[in-house]
Amino acid sequence: MSIWWSLHLRREAASVPLARRFLLGTMETAGVDPDISFDLSVALSEACANAVEHGGDRTVLGEPGDSGTGRPSADSGQYRVTAYLDGEKCRIEVSDSGPGFPARRALRPAGHSPQADAESGRGLDLIQQLSDHVQFGNRPGHGAVVSFDKVLKWREGALLTV
């Protein structure tokens, strides 16, 4: 047995705890170990916060020959969270419609945190620390995608055990 769900959320701060609670509720019901659930919920919160903050600056060009000023994309006010729980792992994906990651965005090796006074990057670093596997990427013309997964541990008598 497995569980899969997807949420389309507005790019508003209130959507972040909503996504987090939805994930925690699903994992508690399924019987996932609370420590694993907490780690994934914090990573999800960071990914959602990034989508809210950075996920909607992409514009759509008008007529041919447009000067490039464009108008906001119709989907720039929302982002998507998708989660898959199966017998051995949970995979979470957060995608937005913003400009995406810079072309030279590279994952830092484990243990190389951004400087304490850095304005950005701490959330992505935290996602890396709390997950077993992380991917940051861009969808051509569609914004950024952050996906991460973690091997699950189960409580005694859990519904979805291997």
**pLDDT per position as a tens digit, 116-128:** 445 566 899 999 9
Q: Across residues 41-45, what is the average pLDDT?
A: 98
- CA–CA distance, 102 with 106 (Å, rounded to integer): 9
Q: Rounded to 5 degrees, what angle do the CA atoms 128, 33, 6 make? A: 65
pLDDT confidence tier of residue 113, bands split at 50, 70 and 90: low
Mean pLDDT check: name the lowest of 1-5, 27-31, 60-64: 60-64
Mean pLDDT of the chain, nearest integer: 82
Q: Across residues 102-124, what is the average pLDDT?
A: 59
Q: What is the pTM of this model?
A: 0.79
Q: Give the contacts of 18 (CB within 8 A, at least 6 positions apart).
A: 7, 9
What pLDDT, on a 0 to 100 scale, did the predictor assign at position 102?
A: 80
